[in-house]
Structure 1
Amino acid sequence: MNKIHILWAEMKKSHRHHFNNRLVYFSLFLWPAILFIQAYFSFSPFNLGEDSPLTRFVAADQLGLYLIIGYLAYIFFWSMVQSAWQMAYERQQGTLELILLTPVNRTLFMFGRAAANLIEAVWLFSIFAIFTVVYIGELQIASIWFIPFAVALLMLSAIIWGGFLNVIFMFSRDAGILYTIFEAPMEFFSGVRMPIMAFPIWAKAIAFIFPLTYVLQIIRGFIMEGKTVSDMAQPLLLLAGILITLSLLTYWLVNKAERHVKKTGSLTLF
């Protein structure tokens, strides 16, 4: 079967199964918008003047831009955690067996599932974020071409992250603890709201585990600091290393899980 057909078929299935109600889109817009507003106004009681400790990391007039970029990227990665978490319902509904029996490449299937849920989950909030960025201003972009490059990088990183998580959640009997580990800590430690340079050393070590950390560093560098690709070479290389590692782990885990199923008849690997 053509690889494109595999990806497209899973995208269509995910759309019909998870995004068949307009209220779903409304909630996917309302929830992240509330998070952004809550984060923005949580800074209001504090000193944001030139002598504020925060200005060592983020200029006060760029705080809104800093936060909207953070939450836009976070929604991309959060939607992947949600996509993986829904694997529990596949197990309950008996469709997990169909996934394993279908004659397609399971690795492509995982990435197709991630891509489908990503596009559906983020497009409405992305429109809100674009209008917010235009309204706030304070952009410092060296080249207009860095914007589509940053968007493509964000989408690719989120899809690879999502494919990896889908494999783990697919073969885990109880993924509740994994959801707890990957959802809230990713928001806090990746620098969505708070610059990671303000963290203690132990928190910085956790931050650099998440690919979202590097994605935010790169996008904010392009949009808020006017940096070029050469300026961001180090985080780009680190991100590339993480994405390649995740892709290889996804492929290895899928093959290991399939051998486990054939040998034991059990769908539970973790």
Structure 2
Amino acid sequence: MFFAEWKKSHRNHFHSKMVYFSLFIWPVLLFATAYFSVKPFDTSNSSPLAKWMDPKQISFFLITGYIGYVFFWSLVQSAWQMSWERQNGTLELIFLTPVSRVWMMYCRAGANLIEGVWMFTVFSILIVLFLDDVKAPPVENIAFAFIVLCISAVVWGGVLNTIFLFSRDASILFTILEEPMQFFAGVRIPVVVLPLWGKIMAALFPLTYVLQIFRSLLMEGESVIDLFPDLCLLFSMLALLVVISYLLVRKAEKHAKRTGNMVLF
């Protein structure tokens, strides 16, 4: 199912050189905008920013933030493309397939994740290699950080795919999850500097917890054991999202059998 979804996604959405160009230039411009927005200000040890992070690592802070954001946002776009299935008349094939709809949504998310993030990931690795203010983290930290990021992004994408599958128009989520997720999840600024209401908003996004773990592993060199409480919190949230996906699919399928309508909301 995963390879079938990957093949379909590649043929439908990643078949043009211009698509790959946009996959590269869009996140690069986001990163450059954030970087040069901060660069004119005081980033020395006397800067107010020094209270919350090492100002010398601001480039690394931003690049890790945008890696996480691109992983999560690419799956928001993937879910939004579910509306094309409805327009093309291929939505019925998803309901007729003998495999689990929940499993299919997660396979779709994983397949689209690979296609959507590999170019910016390569760019980010090259940027980090040229930074002279970054101490290389242990290899096991790098591997574990990306495993956590990929699993979290796929679970997030699976939930969104499920919502868009059973909705006639959930495009409002495309707007709600763009700038708010980028601002509140700590992509550009540390969550700790936000006011109380901002921290409450940040707690609603799985990306907030992922970036905290991701940066702790790569920037601070903490071990997995040190981050055990944070990992438990993150995986509890991911488990809740999986349960929500399962319950939503069951409810939507019962609704479809009872009414003959594949639109739940």
> Which TM-score band (shorter chain)?
over 0.9
Structure 1: state its 5+ residue gaps: 1-5
What is the aligned residue count?
265
- Alignment correspondent of 1:3: none
Q: How does 1:74-93 map to 2 (within 5 A)?
A: 74-93=69-88
Question: Is the partner of 1:266 in helix, strand or coil?
Answer: coil
After TM superposition, give the deviation of residue 138 of structure 1 in Å: 3.5
Cα distance in 1 for residues equivalent to 2:261 and 2:132: 54
Is 1:209 the equivalent of 2:204? Answer: yes
Cα distance in 2 for residues equivalent to 1:142 and 1:194: 22
After TM superposition, give the deviation of residue 81 of structure 1 in Å: 0.2
- Alignment correspondent of 2:158: 163
Cα distance in 2 for residues equivalent to 1:161 and 1:90: 20
Cα distance in 2 for residues equivalent to 1:231 and 1:105: 37
Is 1:136 the equivalent of 2:131? Answer: yes
**Residue 58 of structure 2, aligned match among 51, 63, 68:** 63
After TM superposition, give the deviation of residue 96 of structure 1 in Å: 1.0
Letter in 1 for 2:48: P
Cα distance in 2 for residues equivalent to 1:191 and 1:147: 20
Q: Deviations over 1:98-148 (max 9, x none)?
A: 211222211111011101110000001100000111111434466321111
Question: Is the partner of 2:221 in helix, strand or coil?
Answer: coil
Q: Do the aligned partners of 1:142 and 1:227 also contact (CA within 8 Å) in 2?
A: no
Q: How does 1:110-259 map to 2 (within 5 A)?
A: 110-140=105-135, 143-259=138-254
Cα distance in 2 for residues equivalent to 1:98 and 1:137: 52
Q: CA distance change for structure 1 residues 142 and 131 in 2, over 3 Å: closer, same or farther?
A: closer
Q: Deviations over 1:39-66 (max 9, x none)?
A: 0000122222222111111211100000
- Alignment correspondent of 2:91: 96
Q: Deviations over 1:54-106 (max 9, x none)?
A: 11112111000000000011100000100000011111111111211222211
**Residue 24 of structure 2, aligned match among 15, 24, 29:** 29
Structure 2 length-normalised TM: 0.97
Is 1:261 the equivalent of 2:256? Answer: yes
Q: Do the aligned partners of 2:31 and 2:62 also contact (CA within 8 Å) in 1?
A: yes
Q: Do the aligned partners of 2:137 and 2:219 also contact (CA within 8 Å) in 1?
A: no
Cα distance in 2 for residues equivalent to 1:85 and 1:132: 30
- Alignment correspondent of 2:36: 41
After TM superposition, give the deviation of residue 230 of structure 1 in Å: 1.7
Letter in 1 for 2:225: S
Cα distance in 1 for residues equivalent to 2:19 and 2:106: 22
Q: Deviations over 1:133-189 (max 9, x none)?
A: 111143446632111111111111100100000000111111121111122211111
Cα distance in 2 for residues equivalent to 1:240 and 1:254: 21
Give structure 1 regions of 4+ aligned residues with deviation exceeding 4 angstroms: none
Q: Do the aligned partners of 2:141 and 2:221 also contact (CA within 8 Å) in 1?
A: no
Question: Is the partner of 2:234 in helix, strand or coil?
Answer: helix
Letter in 1 for 2:233: L
Q: Do the aligned partners of 1:139 and 1:223 also contact (CA within 8 Å) in 2?
A: no
Cα distance in 1 for residues equivalent to 2:88 and 2:147: 34
Letter in 1 for 2:171: G
Q: CA distance change for structure 1 residues 137 and 153 in 2, over 3 Å: closer, same or farther?
A: farther
Percent of residue pairs identical: 53
Is 1:53 the equivalent of 2:36? Answer: no
Question: Is the partner of 2:42 in helix, strand or coil?
Answer: coil
Q: Do the aligned partners of 2:85 and 2:91 also contact (CA within 8 Å) in 1?
A: yes
